[in-house]
Amino acid sequence: MLLFRWAFAIVVYYANHAVNFLLYCVSGAQFRRHLLQLVHDVRCRCELRRTNFAPNTESSSQVFHIAKSISNLTAEGEFKDAAQ
C-alpha cells in the first residue's frame, strides 16, 4: 500500500507541473513570448554549431578522391584505371 501511495504522489507531482505549464502557455502572453525566444535562441545555437563544424568542400573532395583511389586498388596492389 505504501508503494501505491508513493507512485500516486509522483504521478500527481508530475501532473501538477504539466498542468501549470499548459496554463501558463494558454494564459500568459509574456510567458509565451519568453518561451518562443528561448526556443529560437536554442535553435540558432544548434544551427550555428552545425555551420561551424561543416566540412570544407575542398577538403571533402580531396578525401573523396583519396577514398576512391584506395577503393580502386586491386588485390595485387595495383591501381585500376580511374576512367572505368
Total structural domains within the chain: 1
Could you tell me the maximum CA-CA distance found in the chain, to the nearest angstrom?
77
Residues near 24 by beta carbon (within 8 Å), at least 6 away in sequence:
31
pLDDT computed for residue 11 by the predictor? 96
Q: What is the pTM of this model?
A: 0.42
Containing structural domain, residue 41: 2-52
- For residue 18, being part of any structural domain is answered with yes
Over the stretch 6-30, which tens digit does the pLDDT of each residue have? 999 999 999 999 999 899 888 889 8
- For residue 7, being part of any structural domain is answered with yes
More confident residue, 10 or 61: 10
Which cell goes with 39? 526556443
More confident residue, 27 or 48: 27
- For residue 13, being part of any structural domain is answered with yes
- For residue 72, being part of any structural domain is answered with no
For range 36-48, the mean pLDDT? 84
- For residue 71, being part of any structural domain is answered with no
Where residue 4 falls among pLDDT bands split at 50, 70, 90?
very high
